[in-house]
Chains A and B, each alone.
Chain A
Amino acid sequence: MPKDPYLKHTAAESPPREALTINPAKTCQPIGAMYAALGVHRCLPHSHGSQGCCSYHRSTLTRHYKEPVMAATSSFTEGASVFGGQSNLLQAFNTIFTLYDPDIIAVHTTCLSETIGDDLPQIIGKATAEGKIPAGRVVLHANTPSYIGSHVTGFASMTRAFVDYFAETTGKKSDRLAVFPGWVEPSDMAELKRLLETMEIPYTMLPDTSGVLDSPLTGHFEMYPEGGTRLEDIRHMGDVKASIGLGPYCSGPAAKLLDTKCRVPCDILDLPIGLSATDRFIDALRRTAGVAVSETVIRERGRLVDMMADMHQYTYGRTVALAGDPDQLCPLSEFLRDMDMKVKYVVTGTPGKPFESRMSELLGEAEEGDWRGAPGDLFSLHQRLKAEPTDLLIGNSYCKYMARDEDIPFVRFGFPILDRVGHSDFPYVGYRGAMRVMERVLGVLMDRQDRDSPNERFELVM
């Protein structure tokens, strides 16, 4: 254990807190809206607020993806904050279409423009009426006040806004499935598409950041890379056979709106992380699309179960602490349980009852000494770990400090990951993704065993 703890002011016990958040396990809505909008082809996200919002979101997404993250801002000053942001936004449309040539501008609000009450539909209506939006180009908006929900909410709101603005019903049903992947990595979106293709299911996925935030180094910068959901496909979403929303927090609102707006029946599932959640996803695909599960998928499932059986002695009974977002935490906890690990502490900063009830459905009620912080913060999680540590910690890069202080094996998972690569290149969803989760978990647990074993028990074969 390091002599000098990094978080040296964190004690196991401290006075109760109601008003103060310390080391948050969430961030604000607009960054999620920006990420979702980047998953639509030739779409430029636009932040309607102060420059700092846009700058912070672009910086954080850039550090996480190690990729260009392009977005514009309304650059509010004090005047705009007093008189409203309409003229800023109208001017921004002109600047953006002239200089940056997107097909779509996806405007999201901020706590600033929400507090002053800018009416986005009115402003966009005015821009349209005055011919400020060139022919063939579109503008949409999502309300993403930073003082409600979290980054997860913002992602959900922008995804829903695309459905709201563009999904149409022509009366001519298509055999496609609409898939809302939720806030997962570009690698995960690519893996979901591979699974759909393996099962020969035609689909539209919204959003789709694969091919956008994992672009190759070619010697040319593409402001609008080849990836991203096509606007035309979003328009046709009203005609699809059914939709599958992965993750109730991130995808629920879009899937439900497609149902009420266009009468597309939806199935809202957990993100397919781990064995059981992937089973439910594949089973839903099979039933909804009316296809048989492909041999490839069956084989992948078998290999995952094989690994779980082979490595059971290393996972059995191990305790875990998790920090992250509700859509990820539920299926991940379930998967750890499937490996006979014990999920002891879970924390998310994202508020909302569905998380607690889903955790109870999947894992049962929390046992004495366990903790489900919803909402909670990383400071509280650290305090729990000080009082009674776990064998493993899973969370974003900020968790590395408590992992080092308490000397707990640590797997990076979630958002943001600012200090490692791989998350946007190799998936965690599906059966193969689950094998990668296992590989990472086993890697740190077995490294720890190697580090701590006395010489006579330092094993060659494990």
Chain B
Amino acid sequence: MSDTRTAAVVEPVLAEKEAEVLKGELLAAYPPKIGRKRERQIVVNKRGEDGSYPEIQANTRTLPGIITQRGCTYAGCKGVVVGPTRDILQITHGPIGCGFYSWLTRRNQTRAEGASDDNFMPYSLSTDLEDKDIVFGGEKKLRRAVKEAFDTFRPKAIAIFSTCPVGLIGDDVHAVARDMTEELGITVFGMSCEGYKGVSQSAGHHIANNAVFTHVVGKNPERPEGEFKVNMLGEYNIGGDAFELERLLGLLGVTLVTTFSGNSTFVSMGQAPFADVNLVMCHRSINYMAEMMETKYGLPWFKVNFIGAGPSSKSLRHLAEYFADAGLAARVESLIESEMIEVSEELDRVRPRLAGKSVLMYVGGSRAHHYQDLFRELGMKVVSAGYEFAHRDDYEGRRVIPTIKVDADSRNIEQLHVERDEARYSRRRDDAEIESLKARGLPMGEYEGMMGEMAEGSLVIDDISHYETEKLIELVKPDLLCAGIKEKYVVQKHGIPLKQLHNYDIGGPYAGFRGAINFYREIDRLVNGSVWGKIKAPWDKAPELSGSYGW
């Protein structure tokens, strides 16, 4: 298999009219107010002559009463972005629940290097606020908790996460963090990531980006060694994805300075500005960081995708192209060639068992895009896809950013004003070089979005509801659905397998070449598993036996 297979023109999965009918069916039962809103969040994919895509409404409120996939700002802040960093001791300031539910449930793997490398991820720390704290304020308790946490664990850094009531009772977590930084002599920072801010996890990503950028990035003066130095952004090491990417970069002689934030450390994140380029995996959760680092340190970024063998090859080639190094380019080619032997073997075995099957995929803020290549490699059709918490640019591409209307829910999330750090700023590539890289196909500072990779006539659905999921299952009868744990057993009761693409159903890694092989096997296991043929009992399958003979 080569790159070209995934780059093939995508055949329409549904005729445009058919797709419009499907959309109409999804909207039919809604009360008018909801129907009008959902109408703008469900679009039939179509490429315009100028390369644009239909406008989709995204990153807007889920209407009350809708059974949604979405979570909250705290979940995006602690659960997604900051959570995977093993040596930042993390304290949830609030009643016990939030700290409990975000405790080890996201499968961010981490591998401490030796006994002295801190790993606090197995620990859930909380101020466990009680009614008296809600009445009289929780700052005193927080202050004390930070001190106790320091005395117990002796960490290099402590992060504090606010939950809903904290903002309402007016606790100033940032003041506490400042005071404790001074008192303890370590980095302590707070985040106002109350669950009610924003409309989904997305606001939490932004808040986490701001805090990590302000308090962590650039704080470690130790320059890492290496000829080619990169940071990986938006890779959270679910199921060991980051380990696979570390393996590939290691084989190529590329130094991974740090990852935001899978298998990462406070120490390595502090060195991020020493890298030569930022590679952005999950655009939605981390694009703020990429932009801020470019402004402050002159570090360019480009979009990568390591999900699927084709995209992995392409991203590695882009990396070699960026460094314009013949040796590196040769190593990339030889790595791809050797990795692809096993990939092709597995694909040849599995593809005939899966080709032509249909998939629906509603997940995340980049995965509903990234995984489409893997399904294409398998010859499967993505009939409909959408994100849980993305913005318009993740669907239509970054070119639409200037046209996105900023509403009140987004305006209350702080937009950091970042300036060039004159002492440390160094423009890695000048404008001409960036343009030349772009001309050679490198997505420098660009993201094309999901719609560009989807077939015409496919249905793009933002923030899908339980009701719509059920309706689609009835109308499309897919062979596989990809979503999360809350949807998992609902879908499987229908006799249709569901692949969790948040936590991978305890599987993975799915990134890189070995990851692709794992995924091919996993989809074969799911779609062709024996159990789906066992739902009907023998007596249900052969009711004619009860027919009568004329004795």
Q: Taking the complex as formed, is B185 at the interface, i.e. its CB lies under 8 A from any CB of chain A? A: no
Q: Which of B72, B142, B492 contacts A52 (CB 8 A)?
A: B72
Chain B 133-145 interface mask (CB, 8 Å, partner A; 1/0)? 1100000011011
Interface pick from B2-10, B194-202, B392-400, B435-443? B194-202
Give the residues in chain B near A52, CB-CB below 8 Å: 71-75, 98, 195
Q: Taking the complex as formed, is B295 at the interface, i.e. its CB lies under 8 A from any CB of chain A? A: no
Give the residues in chain A near B128, CB-CB below 8 Å: 21, 24
Give Cα distance in the complex from A79 to B409, angstroms: 9
| Given known A-B contacts A71-B67, A94-B31, A219-B495, A112 and B148 have beta carbons under 8 A apart | no
| Given known A-B contacts A22-B152, A24-B126, A70-B466, A75 and B131 have beta carbons under 8 A apart | no
Q: Which of B97, B466, B470 contacts A27 (CB 8 A)?
A: B97
Q: Taking the complex as formed, is B181 at the interface, i.e. its CB lies under 8 A from any CB of chain A? A: no
Give the residues in chain B near A145, CB-CB below 8 Å: 95, 131, 134
Is the Cβ of B123 less than 8 Å from the Cβ of A22? yes
- Tell me the residues in window 53-73 of chain A with beta carbons closer than 8 Å to chain B beta carbons: 53, 55-60, 62-63, 66-73
Task: Pick the most buried of B104, B128, B200, B465: most chain A CB atoms within 10 A of its CB.
Answer: B128
Q: Taking the complex as formed, is B414 at the interface, i.e. its CB lies under 8 A from any CB of chain A? A: no
Is the Cβ of B490 less than 8 Å from the Cβ of A221? yes
* CB proximity of B158 to chain A, nearest CB, Å: 11
| Given known A-B contacts A9-B120, A55-B70, A81-B164, A28 and B489 have beta carbons under 8 A apart | no
Q: Taking the complex as formed, is B29 at the interface, i.e. its CB lies under 8 A from any CB of chain A? A: yes
Is the Cβ of A70 less than 8 Å from the Cβ of B67? yes
Residue of chain A at shortest CB distance from B149: A20
Q: Taking the complex as formed, is B425 at the interface, i.e. its CB lies under 8 A from any CB of chain A? A: no
Q: Taking the complex as formed, is B542 at the interface, i.e. its CB lies under 8 A from any CB of chain A? A: no
Give Cα distance in the complex from A40 to B195, angstroms: 29
Give the residues in chain A near B535, CB-CB below 8 Å: 217-219
Residue of chain B at shortest CB distance from A146: B95
Interface pick from B57-65, B265-273, B449-457? B57-65
Residue of chain A at shortest CB distance from B195: A50
Q: How many inter-chain residue pairs (CB < 8 Å) link A and B?
A: 259
| Given known A-B contacts A56-B71, A147-B134, A115 and B168 have beta carbons under 8 A apart | yes
* CB proximity of A136 to chain B, nearest CB, Å: 19
Chain B 148-186 interface mask (CB, 8 Å, partner A; 1/0)? 110111000000000111011100000000000000000
* CB proximity of B360 to chain A, nearest CB, Å: 15
Give Cα distance in the complex from A62 to B164, angstroms: 24
Q: Taking the complex as formed, is A26 at the interface, i.e. its CB lies under 8 A from any CB of chain B? A: yes
Is the Cβ of B115 less than 8 Å from the Cβ of A8? yes
Q: Taking the complex as formed, is A6 at the interface, i.e. its CB lies under 8 A from any CB of chain B? A: yes
Q: Taking the complex as formed, is B485 at the interface, i.e. its CB lies under 8 A from any CB of chain A? A: yes
Give Cα distance in the complex from A60 to B102, angstroms: 10
Give Cα distance in the complex from A269 to B122, angstroms: 37
Is the Cβ of A95 less than 8 Å from the Cβ of B63? yes
Chain A 75-107 interface mask (CB, 8 Å, partner B; 1/0)? 111111100000011011111101110000000
Is the Cβ of A20 less than 8 Å from the Cβ of B125? yes
Is the Cβ of B34 less than 8 Å from the Cβ of A95? yes
Residue of chain A at shortest CB distance from B408: A79
Is the Cβ of B72 less than 8 Å from the Cβ of A93? no
Is the Cβ of B72 less than 8 Å from the Cβ of A59? no
Chain A contributes a number of interface residues (CB within 8 A of B) equal to 83
* CB proximity of B71 to chain A, nearest CB, Å: 4
Give the residues in chain B near A219, CB-CB below 8 Å: 493-495, 535-536
Is the Cβ of B105 less than 8 Å from the Cβ of A77? no
| Given known A-B contacts A15-B151, A63-B485, A115-B164, A146 and B97 have beta carbons under 8 A apart | yes
Give Cα distance in the complex from A23 to B67, angstroms: 30
* CB proximity of B372 to chain A, nearest CB, Å: 25
Give Cα distance in the complex from A146 to B95, angstroms: 6
Q: Taking the complex as formed, is B68 at the interface, i.e. its CB lies under 8 A from any CB of chain A? A: yes
Q: Taking the complex as formed, is A366 at the interface, i.e. its CB lies under 8 A from any CB of chain B? A: no
Is the Cβ of A77 less than 8 Å from the Cβ of B96? no
Give the residues in chain A near B125, CB-CB below 8 Å: 20-22
Q: Which of B70, B134, B197, B492 contacts A78 (CB 8 A)?
A: B197
Is the Cβ of A51 less than 8 Å from the Cβ of B72? yes
Give Cα distance in the complex from A389 to B408, angstroms: 55
- Tell me the residues in window 206-245 of chain A with beta carbons closer than 8 Å to chain B beta carbons: 215, 217-222
Give the residues in chain A near B470, CB-CB below 8 Å: 221
Is the Cβ of B493 less than 8 Å from the Cβ of A222? yes
Q: Taking the complex as formed, is B99 at the interface, i.e. its CB lies under 8 A from any CB of chain A? A: yes
Is the Cβ of B127 less than 8 Å from the Cβ of A21? yes
Is the Cβ of A19 less than 8 Å from the Cβ of B145? yes
- Tell me the residues in window 89-147 of chain A with beta carbons closer than 8 Å to chain B beta carbons: 89, 91-96, 98-100, 110-112, 115-116, 145-147
Q: Taking the complex as formed, is A18 at the interface, i.e. its CB lies under 8 A from any CB of chain B? A: yes
Residue of chain A at shortest CB distance from B62: A75
Give the residues in chain B near A14, CB-CB below 8 Å: 151-152
Give Cα distance in the complex from A58 to B466, angstroms: 13
* CB proximity of A110 to chain B, nearest CB, Å: 7
Give the residues in chain A near B65, CB-CB below 8 Å: 46, 72-74, 91-96, 99
Is the Cβ of A18 less than 8 Å from the Cβ of B144? yes
Is the Cβ of A401 less than 8 Å from the Cβ of B165? no
- Tell me the residues in window 66-108 of chain B with beta carbons closer than 8 Å to chain A beta carbons: 66-75, 91, 94-105
Give the residues in chain A near B317, CB-CB below 8 Å: none
* CB proximity of A382 to chain B, nearest CB, Å: 10
Is the Cβ of B164 less than 8 Å from the Cβ of A77? no
- Tell me the residues in window 362-413 of chain A with beta carbons closer than 8 Å to chain B beta carbons: 379, 398, 401
* CB proximity of B444 to chain A, nearest CB, Å: 35
Give the residues in chain B near A278, CB-CB below 8 Å: none
Give Cα distance in the complex from A74 to B198, angstroms: 14
Is the Cβ of A75 less than 8 Å from the Cβ of B66? yes
11 further A-B contacts with Cβ under 8 Å, apart from A20-B145, A66-B489, A147-B134, are A9-B118, A50-B72, A51-B71, A55-B75, A62-B489, A63-B105, A95-B64, A111-B129, A115-B134, A217-B492, A221-B490
Q: List 21 A-B contacts (CB under 8 A).
A: A8-B115, A24-B99, A46-B65, A55-B68, A55-B70, A66-B489, A68-B493, A70-B67, A70-B490, A72-B67, A73-B65, A79-B408, A89-B64, A99-B65, A99-B467, A100-B466, A111-B97, A111-B163, A115-B165, A221-B490, A221-B493
The list of the 7 closest CB pairs from A to B, nearest first, reads A52-B72, A95-B65, A28-B97, A92-B65, A50-B195, A146-B95, A56-B101
B residues contacting A by CB (< 8 A) are: 29-31, 34, 61-75, 91, 94-105, 112, 115, 118-120, 122-131, 133-134, 141-142, 144-145, 148-149, 151-153, 163-165, 167-169, 195-200, 408-409, 412, 465-467, 470, 484-486, 488-495, 535-536
